[in-house]
Structure 1
Amino acid sequence: MTPRTTDHTPERATGHTSGHTPGPEASLPAPAWQVQSLLLAYPDEHLEGRLHLARRVAAALPEPVAAPLHRFLDHAGRTGAARLAAEYVEVFDHRRRCCPFLTYYAHGDTRKRGVALLRIKRTYAAAGLRLTDEELPDHLAVVLEFAAGEPEAGRKLLTEHRAGLELLRLALHDTGAPWAHVLDSVSATLPPLGGDEREAVARLAAEGPPEEEVGLAPFAPPQYMPDPVGGRR
């Protein structure tokens, strides 16, 4: 289910300039979001370099953001790329509750999700960014990468999907997955859950996402689409 490209980075269009200058409070999480994005990518041959960069950046981050990253980095350093890659597949490919695609939590596989994906793609395009054809725009690693470059717009996207992020964080903790620590770090960069968001998390946990399985063909590669009898990788 999870894309395994070498780099989740949206490509900046040539000549792009931002339409605003983020204030200090908006730009502070950017290094954290960049590192979190890298750590949520598939553990491939570039893992060692990512871990080295993440340790350097985490050393300069506030403790509530940095401490969970260090816990993940300690695990990754002990585990090694091959074993960590197997864990990644087991968690993100085989556990539906650990879906890294944020619009899935609010919309399931419905037409509304297709609209939500299009809106995110338009947000990226307005910032002068584009994705490769095989990437879905709502993968958490992609959203965090975008947020690192466009903090104001990225923070808005992350907070819009706050309930889904929290459900993913809880699911990862329930399964004992090391990426739960990365989600702890992401949560530390965002405002606390509000009352409505807590209700949304409880509702999603109890009911799950909507189940209508139509409307994604323009956005999802075939390998990410439900099969004809309603299954999902």
Structure 2
Amino acid sequence: MKLFRRSTGIADSHRRLVWQSVSLLLAYPEDEADGMPCYSERLELVGGLLDDLPPSVAEPLRRCVDGLAGTDAYDAAQRYVETFDLRRRRSLFLTYWTDGDTRNRGNAMLQFADAYREAGVEPPEGELPDHLAVVLEFGATVEFKSGMALLTRYRAPLALLQDALGQMGSPYAGAVEAVLATVPEPDPEQTRLEAQRIAQEGPPSESVGLDPYSVTVPVDALAASLRTVGGSR
């Protein structure tokens, strides 16, 4: 089981593009949504960016897009629920991996909410602040350094999520693999030990039901950010 690899040779502008792309891919599949592209448009939007990204992140993203393509929103939603909502070892809520449903999880989620507020934005309504797609969108479009700090802190859960998705043959494994390629690994041994502990012990308690995620950035601003962020560093 290969969980870890170092992040090298990726510009910050590319990291932001990857994060926003994966945020779209991890959004709940639906054809009608307020302020965001429909399911098929998201796949097309991300697919159109792949040639502008380094192979280390473009290739796993392409596997994800290709694996999700050709399915209507209804069937895609069923697959999404089966993948993420009903299998606690594949949760998109980062603090669930480390804190389960204990009181400590509330404190951990507060760190995410505080990071958003310090950057001048409010946590999204109707979604927990530790949802991976929310964190990725925040880092891509609001505050890159704070987003990177949160993703780095939870790199071990991300690695376990990618491995679990890969074991079930899910296209979403490629999306999480691309994110991992953008997140530095300051101490690989510490990350390995943390992932090993989480895998062996599991979350402290059973998780509550997971609500569908909805991207919060309006579609016009989202598309504009995807077109222009590649030119920033």
TM range, smaller chain: 0.7 to 0.9
- Larger relative CO (CA 8 A, sep 6+): 1 or 2? 2
Once residues 112 and 47 of structure 2 are traced to their aligned partners in structure 1, the CA distance between those partners, rounded to angstroms, is: 30
SS of structure 2 residue aligned to 1:129: coil
Gaps of 5+ in 1: 1-23, 214-221, 226-233
User: Aligned-residue CA RMSD in angstroms?
Assistant: 2.0
Q: Is the 8 A contact 1:36 1:182 kept in 2?
A: yes
Gaps of 5+ in 2: 1-9, 32-37, 212-233
- Are positions 1:44 and 2:30 aligned together? yes
| CA distance, structure 1, for counterparts of residue 206 and residue 165 of structure 2 | 25
Contact 2:19–2:137 (CA under 8 A) maintained in structure 1? yes
SS at match of 2:146: helix
Q: Distance in 1 between matches of 2:210 and 2:172?
A: 21
> How much does 1:207 deviate?
1.1
**8 Å CA contact 2:50, 2:58 repeated in 1:** yes
Task: Measure the CA separation in 2 of the matches of 1:76 and 1:224.
Answer: 21
Per the TM alignment, residue 201 of structure 1 is displaced from its structure 2 partner at its CA by 0.7
For the residue of structure 1 that corresponds to 2:49, the secondary structure is helix
Matched-pair contact (CA < 8 Å) for 1:110–1:212: no
User: Structure 1-normalised TM-score?
Assistant: 0.78
- 1:189 matched to which residue of 2? 182
Contact 1:72–1:182 at 8 Å: present in 2 too?
Answer: yes
Are 2:26 and 1:32 aligned?
no
Match of 2:203 among 209, 212, 219: 209
Match of 1:199 in 2: 193
- The answer on whether the counterparts of 1:32 and 1:58 sit within 8 Å (CA) in structure 2 is no
**8 Å contact 2:139–2:148 — kept in the other structure?**
yes
Q: Is the 8 A contact 1:69 1:182 kept in 2?
A: yes
1:154 to 147, 154, 166: 147
Any conservation in 2 of the 1:173–1:180 contact (CA below 8 Å)? yes
1:218 corresponds to which residue? Answer: none
Give the partner amino acid of 2:17. Answer: P
Deviation at 1:81, TM superposition (A): 2.2
For residues 1-233 of structure 1, what are the structure 2 equivalents within 5 Å?
A: 25-45=11-31, 46-149=38-141, 150-192=143-185, 194-211=188-205, 224=210
Q: CA offsets per residue over residues 106-136 of structure 1, 9 Å max, x none?
A: 1111111100111110100111112333110
Superposed structure 1 runs of 4+ greater than 4 Å apart: 222-225
Deviations 1:79-120 (A, max 9, x none): 332222111011111111011000111111111110011111
In the alignment of these two chains, the number of paired residues is: 194
| Percent of matched pairs sharing the same residue | 45
